[in-house]
Amino acid sequence: MKGTLRYLAGIAGPNGFGSRSTAEQVTQHCVFPYSHLTAIITGGTSGIGAETARVLAKRGVRVVMAVRDMKKAEMVKEKIVIENPEADIVLLEIDLSSLSSVARFCSQFLSQDLPLNIIINNAGVFSPNLEFSEEKIELTFATNFLGHYLLTEMLIEKMIETAKKSGIEGRIINLTSVIHSWVKPDCFSFPKLLHPIKYNGTKAYAQSKLATILHAKALSRRLKDINANVTINVVHPGIVKTGIIRAHKGLLTDSLFLIASKLLKSVSQGAATTCYVALSNETRRINGKYFADCNEANCSELANDESLALQLCTNSHTLIHDYLHLSLPNSCLL
């Protein structure tokens, strides 16, 4: 309740930023060496992802947009370059719901021999009806979690290598949602995440967002153990005026949606926490934490369950190996 009142009032947190801060504001005075950075952003063709790409590019970061719709990506790139002619934007195609597509994207990126300093696992879907990926995995879980899990695991060694050579800390940011806290322990079963018996879109979305936190928790412990100069944190952007919120609208009455919409963040405010964690010197050496409104916050008790996190990573690693026959090192478990 206290956090909700702070959000509604727009009160800044300990670092001076809060729910009303924008992505440009929180990166305006950062001292991180932007011009030497390369960042991958998934889902950068609209909403928070597009704004994150714009602001990072404005700060001098080379942005690799991992996108499903290349035409939309070209339009976003064009707008960014018009605003900032010096922007370095690379477009690569990916379908995060497809494990084979994710593997192709990673191979394509690695073949370009670019450094890799930042991964922002931003893309997300909300599916009101039960749908499956090409590997016959429930679409929301496949897109929001498994695709990003595979992308991170295939590129983590590149990040560690880049950080070692450059001396610049690598940063991974997983976008999550406060509704991860709605998931109960008895509702988080790996087989049922893949193939739900009774499907509920909001429940599936919440489960996928819990999974992104658990992955970050497990990977952060491993990165600390091997003394890698790479961190991973999770970000709740807030309730933002995006396509996912529009997809939820059908679950609300028009009057309730009108009231709720007054409390939504703008896209620029929604991208602020991601940009802050990605670029701020104040987040240096912070690892395995949950951020909201540009400040550290508390996630659910279930999201802090170490055994559940390791179990999720083990099951995900096995699943991907079975589907793709990849000799993928499990960074969470080694």
Q: What is the pLDDT of residues 141-153, one digit of tens each?
A: 999 999 999 999 9
Q: Which amino acid is at 150?
A: L
Regions of the chain where pLDDT drops below 70:
1-10, 31-35, 241-263, 327-334
The string of pLDDT tens digits covering residues 159-205 is: 999 999 999 999 999 999 999 999 999 999 999 999 999 999 999 99
Nearest to 19 by CA among 291, 252, 257: 291
Residue 289: predicted pLDDT: 98
DSSP at 265? B
Q: Which amino acid is at 177?
A: S
Q: Which of these is catalytic: 7, 199, 205, 290?
A: 199
149 is catalytic: no
Residue 198: predicted pLDDT: 93
Contact in structure between 173 and 213 (CB atoms under 8 Å): no
What are the backbone angles phi and psi of residue 234, rounded to the nearest 5°?
A: -120, 150
126 Cβ neighbours under 8 A, 6+ residues apart? 140, 201, 202, 205, 244, 247, 248
Residue 243: predicted pLDDT: 53
Neighbours of 184 (CB within 10 A): 10
- Model pTM greater than 0.75? yes
